[in-house]
Chain A
């Protein structure tokens, strides 16, 4: 069993600048920030290192940080320009019984994060969900389709109503001829 501080030090020695920081000021597990294009290597290490053995991904959540500038487009919709989208990974080791959270942040305009699907299979659907609801693109994901929203949502809606969990999401008027706002 290792504390978050120790795990952070182990990762820092192994990966250096790819590990961006440690946020201890949380009510539950401290959060380690990682480079979004190194997360696959870091995750593999976390799973396979005999001292860490993070064999289970409890949860993977995409978040719109909404930290960009608010601008208005031609239709008068308020949009967020710039800023970041984040993905949080909550890991747990069944054998060693310790926990840690990871966080990656990626640009809002071109959100790209490495997939960890081939490390923890449970990430498959969670990543599809984050792609579906936030538009985060997971590199090397084998089956990146929408999962909860209809597959043909894009065909019937505009740019501002692609991904509902984005903070500047607007309901489309119609979907397949059906009125959406009720």
Chain B
């Protein structure tokens, strides 16, 4: 007589260290094999979009910090660009340069957390501590300029909240010189570590057409080998002036689009961010960073969808203005929200332990998944 078997349902989270916040994954498993993953979100839901409708345009900026709280500058940046587009204003050159440098510093800081926690989730705790040490330098540089370490409220509509600190240029250059050798160190410590490769190569393979159909973006999409980066493909601000490459997954350790590729893309992106910073840091023009800030922000009626390349992918703001001082509708297309959707596809047929590696390689921030 054949034994009757059925799938077991296992809840991972909401309180689980590797779900990066409060995410609950409902795993259907057969032994150790994952058959189905159903994510349950909303534990951090605070209806940012409803709040935004009750605020004036400039008052929304601090709320955007709290979406992707590891890359708050990027969120401010996207929102400011969207409203500037509605208003039809141009910002001074100095503002553009500072914005780009800050956004790239923030990208490095964010990738450091992503890489560190990806490693820590699957057992490599040492690199995590090293990377947080390096991230500290960036947070200090930004703190000196705008007074905050994580939630900056730095990029305002039409300008910046503060001009850069007199030491900013020197310290940023120092950081660039300091950080380049540590990337090599990180490669030796984690990227080419045999155990790490065993845990991530050939795991969670994401084919290109699936990635595009699921709307994946950022390192999740580029890990699958497609050169798509909004900084180059839909340029905003002054990114078209800089020379940088777009690293993509090449399947160096396994199949193209596996966890290792997504991880490795982030490391190479940090190098490119350094390149952009080095090109920009010596050419910051003089000027007043608050000269273009409108006294009264009252955009004409209209609809705008503006997207920027945040560390986690395409961050889009869809804003409808009804001609008053409050936005009529603000919708955030959060990269983590969309990237998380593909998790169910990625985990099918892998082991329970691999779910953690895959989730770490997608790198979600629950603040923007739940909004």
Residue ranges of A at the interface with B (Cβ–Cβ < 8 Å): 25-29, 31, 55-59, 61, 63-64, 88, 90, 94, 97, 101, 120-122, 124-126, 133, 146-150, 164-165, 169
Please pick, from B86, B212, B303, B371, the residue contacting A55 in the complex, using a CB distance under 8 A: B212
Report how far A63 CA is from B85 CA in the complex, Å: 20
B-side contacts of A64, CB under 8 Å? 329
Q: A55-B212, A59-B318, A122-B213 are in contact. Are A164 and B50 (CB under 8 A)?
A: yes
A-side contacts of B304, CB under 8 Å? 26-28
Report how far A64 CA is from B328 CA in the complex, Å: 9
Minimal beta-carbon separation of B306 from chain A (angstroms): 7
Q: A121-B214, A147-B41 are in contact. Are A27 and B228 (CB under 8 A)?
A: no
Binds A, one of B139-147, B179-187, B271-279, B331-339: B331-339
Please pick, from A55, A88, A94, A148, the residue contacting B41 in the complex, using a CB distance under 8 A: A148
Cross-chain pairs A/B with CB under 8 angstroms, 12 sampled: A25-B302, A27-B304, A29-B305, A56-B215, A58-B305, A58-B316, A88-B318, A90-B305, A122-B214, A122-B338, A148-B41, A149-B42
Report how far A122 CA is from B216 CA in the complex, Å: 8
Judging by beta carbons under 8 Å apart, are A61 and B318 in contact?
Answer: yes
Minimal beta-carbon separation of A179 from chain B (angstroms): 16
Minimal beta-carbon separation of A141 from chain B (angstroms): 14
Interface residues of B in 49-102 (CB under 8 A from A): 49-50, 85-86, 88
A-side contacts of B214, CB under 8 Å? 121-122
> Top 9 A-B pairs ranked by shortest CB distance?
A122-B215, A61-B331, A59-B333, A148-B42, A148-B45, A121-B214, A90-B305, A61-B318, A27-B85
Minimal beta-carbon separation of B9 from chain A (angstroms): 16
Report how far A27 CA is from B329 CA in the complex, Å: 16
Minimal beta-carbon separation of A156 from chain B (angstroms): 15
Nearest residue in A to B228 (C-beta to C-beta)? A94
Q: A59-B333, A148-B370 are in contact. Are A26 and B303 (CB under 8 A)?
A: yes
Report how far A29 CA is from B305 CA in the complex, Å: 8
Report how far A57 CA is from B214 CA in the complex, Å: 8
Judging by beta carbons under 8 Å apart, are A59 and B226 in contact?
Answer: no
Residue ranges of B at the interface with A (Cβ–Cβ < 8 Å): 41-42, 45, 47, 49-50, 85-86, 88, 212-215, 226, 228, 233, 302-307, 314, 316, 318, 320, 328-329, 331, 333, 337-338, 341-342, 370-371
Q: A59-B331, A94-B212 are in contact. Are A26 and B338 (CB under 8 A)?
A: no
A-side contacts of B328, CB under 8 Å? 63
Nearest residue in A to B370 (C-beta to C-beta)? A148
Minimal beta-carbon separation of B220 from chain A (angstroms): 12
Judging by beta carbons under 8 Å apart, are B370 and A88 in contact?
Answer: no
Q: A27-B86, A28-B85, A94-B226 are in contact. Are A59 and B316 (CB under 8 A)?
A: yes
Judging by beta carbons under 8 Å apart, are B41 and A124 in contact?
Answer: no
A-side contacts of B305, CB under 8 Å? 28-29, 58-59, 88, 90, 101
Minimal beta-carbon separation of B88 from chain A (angstroms): 7
Judging by beta carbons under 8 Å apart, are A28 and B303 in contact?
Answer: yes
Nearest residue in A to B85 (C-beta to C-beta)? A27
Please pick, from A121, A147, A169, the residue contacting B215 in the complex, using a CB distance under 8 A: A121
B-side contacts of A88, CB under 8 Å? 303, 305, 318
Minimal beta-carbon separation of A56 from chain B (angstroms): 5
Minimal beta-carbon separation of A160 from chain B (angstroms): 14
Judging by beta carbons under 8 Å apart, are B215 and A120 in contact?
Answer: yes
Report how far A124 CA is from B38 CA in the complex, Å: 13
Judging by beta carbons under 8 Å apart, are B49 and A57 in contact?
Answer: no
Q: A27-B304, A121-B214 are in contact. Are A58 and B314 (CB under 8 A)?
A: yes
Judging by beta carbons under 8 Å apart, are A90 and B318 in contact?
Answer: yes
A-side contacts of B314, CB under 8 Å? 58
Minimal beta-carbon separation of A66 from chain B (angstroms): 8
Nearest residue in B to A55 (C-beta to C-beta)? B212
B-side contacts of A122, CB under 8 Å? 213-215, 338, 341
Q: A26-B304, A63-B329, A148-B371 are in contact. Are A121 and B213 (CB under 8 A)?
A: yes
Minimal beta-carbon separation of B253 from chain A (angstroms): 26
Nearest residue in B to A124 (C-beta to C-beta)? B341
Judging by beta carbons under 8 Å apart, are A58 and B370 in contact?
Answer: no
Minimal beta-carbon separation of B80 from chain A (angstroms): 14
B-side contacts of A124, CB under 8 Å? 341
Minimal beta-carbon separation of B340 from chain A (angstroms): 8
19 additional contacts, CB 8 Å, given A59-B333, A122-B338?
A: A26-B302, A27-B303, A27-B304, A56-B215, A63-B320, A88-B303, A90-B318, A121-B213, A121-B214, A122-B214, A125-B337, A125-B341, A133-B47, A147-B42, A148-B47, A148-B370, A149-B42, A149-B45, A165-B47
Judging by beta carbons under 8 Å apart, are B212 and A56 in contact?
Answer: yes
